[in-house]
Amino acid sequence: MEDKKLIFSAIQPTGTFTLGNYIGAVRNWAPLQNDYNCIYCVADMHAITVKQEPAKLRQNILNSYALLMACGIDPEKSILFIQSHAPTHAELNWILCCNTQYGELSRMTQFKDKSQKHPDDINAGLFTYPSLMAADILAYNADLVPVGVDQKQHLELSRNIAQRFNQRYGDFFTLPEPYIIDVGAKVMSLQDPTKKMSKSDENPNACILILDGKDTIVRKFKRAVTDSEAEVCFREGKDGINNLMTIYSVVTGKDFASIEAEFAGKGYGDFKLAVGEAVADHLEPVRTEFARLIADKAYLKKCYTEGAERAMRISTRTVAKVYHKVGFVDLK
Ligand code: TRP
């Protein structure tokens, strides 16, 4: 690889991503391939920290892999692989777990939220989730990690773990920096715009899936909750409209001022329809490319096999050095 900074990011295999995942994360990954060396991964090992149905998980992992490619990640340019195909992540995770404090892990807000949501399954994997995430990043000595705001705390912990390891065993890990994507980093629910858009929302109209068809997308936007005014403008307190303006701005490239001008004097109905259509048109090529890729299992397999080999070439070296540093006996 050329001497560019290294980007690492991963996404959990939820089958089909939401518009929130797309705008906040995945959409930004493809352009980074021009300026950085990029390693992207489907975090299937993180996914099993909550209950999964095996057959469905397998399908979701493949779908997610194909979706990343459909969103423009080029498996030739970048390393694109499936986390469980690189056992080095689990190996490094153990070492990092032994350098992570109970107190640090118990302060993670995602752990607290998820334990509250699944009180019957607060497993050790859920607790040590951030140290596996640190292993993902540190196995490649990534410089930058594009994450949404919800993962910032985990990334900070990764830095702290790396720092502690470096102090104990001598400088080794690169301290990863967050690469925060500012515009539209957070897409809110269409039904309750004070909440984050989530696939697990019980109201299906709250969430756009990037493989939703045009009719579905337009219908969900038509039903989006707004406010009792009739003014398309970005202002504090107008959560619903602010969210729609953000989405519209991302998919059309227009700024808020020109969106306000475009819809001056028009009702919310027109605006919601325009947003729905713009989103559907924007996602159309992704849907088409996904359908093509998911039908070509042999090609997908070739891509993820090569991806795993390339990931292993780098991470095996890291693990060997780390094992040596902590005092294990070299095997080779
Ligand atoms: N925890 C991240 C999420 O749910 C996914 C993830 C796993 C990740 N490993 C990572 C993100 C490493 C960045 C870097 O979104």
DSSP per-residue codes, 202-267 = SSGGG--BTT--HHHHHHHHHT----SS------TT-HHHHHHHHHHHHHH---HHHHHHHTTT--
Domain membership of residue 199 (yes or no) is no
CA–centroid distance, 10 to ligand 1, in Å, is 5
Share of the chain above pLDDT 90, in %: 88
- CATH code, 230: 1.10.240.10
Catalytic residue among 186, 199, 222, 254: 199
Ligand 1 neighbourhood includes 43 CB (under 6 angstroms): yes
pLDDT mean over 207-224: 96
**What pLDDT is recorded for position 1?**
58
Residues 179 and 310 in one domain: yes
pLDDT mean over 47-75: 97
Residues 126 and 271 in one domain: no
Phi, psi of 154 (to 5 degrees): -65, -40
Domain membership of residue 191 (yes or no) is no
* Residue nearest to ligand 1 atom 15, measured at CA: 11
Residues 286 and 301 in one domain: no
**What pLDDT is recorded for position 201?**
87
For the chain, give the mean pLDDT: 95
Residues 272 and 312 in one domain: no
Which range, of 22-26, 57-61, 89-93, 315-319, averages the lowest pLDDT? 22-26
Catalytic residue among 196, 220, 238, 272: 196
* Residue nearest to ligand 1 atom 6, measured at CA: 10
**What pLDDT is recorded for position 15?**
72
The amino acid occupying position 33 is: Q
pLDDT mean over 170-175: 98
Confidence of residue 2 (pLDDT cuts 50, 70, 90): low
At which residue do the structure tokens 């399908």 appear?
A: 59
Instruction: Please check the confidence at residue 327 and state whether its pLDDT lies above 60.
Output: yes
Ligand 1 neighbourhood includes 147 CB (under 6 angstroms): yes
Instruction: Please check the confidence at residue 184 and state whether its pLDDT lies above 60.
Output: no
Domain membership of residue 193 (yes or no) is no
Residues 90 and 56 in one domain: yes
pLDDT mean over 1-15: 89
**What pLDDT is recorded for position 193?**
95
Domain encompassing residue 282? 204-291
Domain membership of residue 198 (yes or no) is no
Residues 84 and 157 in one domain: yes
Instruction: Please check the confidence at residue 129 and state whether its pLDDT lies above 90.
Output: yes
Residues 209 and 280 in one domain: yes
Domain membership of residue 158 (yes or no) is yes
Residues 116 and 34 in one domain: yes
Residues 233 and 136 in one domain: no
Instruction: Please check the confidence at residue 322 and state whether its pLDDT lies above 70.
Output: yes
pLDDT mean over 299-317: 98
pLDDT mean over 39-63: 97
Residues 176 and 36 in one domain: yes
Atom of ligand 1 minimally distant from the CA of 46: 7
pTM here is: 0.92
Read off the pLDDT of residues 219-266 as tens digits, 9 standing for 90 and up: 999 999 999 999 999 999 999 999 999 999 999 999 999 999 999 999
> Contact at 8 Å (CB) between 24 and 94?
no
Total domains in the chain come to 2
Residues 152 and 219 in one domain: no
**What pLDDT is recorded for position 138?**
98
Residues 170 and 310 in one domain: yes
- CATH code, 313: 3.40.50.620
Instruction: Please check the confidence at residue 32 and state whether its pLDDT lies above 70.
Output: yes
**Active site includes 272?**
no
**What pLDDT is recorded for position 182?**
63
Domain membership of residue 332 (yes or no) is no
Instruction: Please check the confidence at residue 183 and state whether its pLDDT lies above 60.
Output: no
Pocket test for ligand 1, best of 14, 18, 46 (most atoms within 8 A of CB): 46
**What pLDDT is recorded for position 147?**
85
In what order do the strands lie in the sheet containing 6-11?
79-82, 37-42, 6-11, 144-147, 177-180
**Active site includes 196?**
yes
* Residue nearest to ligand 1 atom 9, measured at CA: 133
Read off the pLDDT of residues 147-170 as tens digits, 9 standing for 90 and up: 877 899 999 999 999 999 999 999
Confidence of residue 88 (pLDDT cuts 50, 70, 90): very high
- In whole angstroms, how far apart are CA 298 and each of 56, 174, 303? 20, 36, 9
**Active site includes 297?**
no
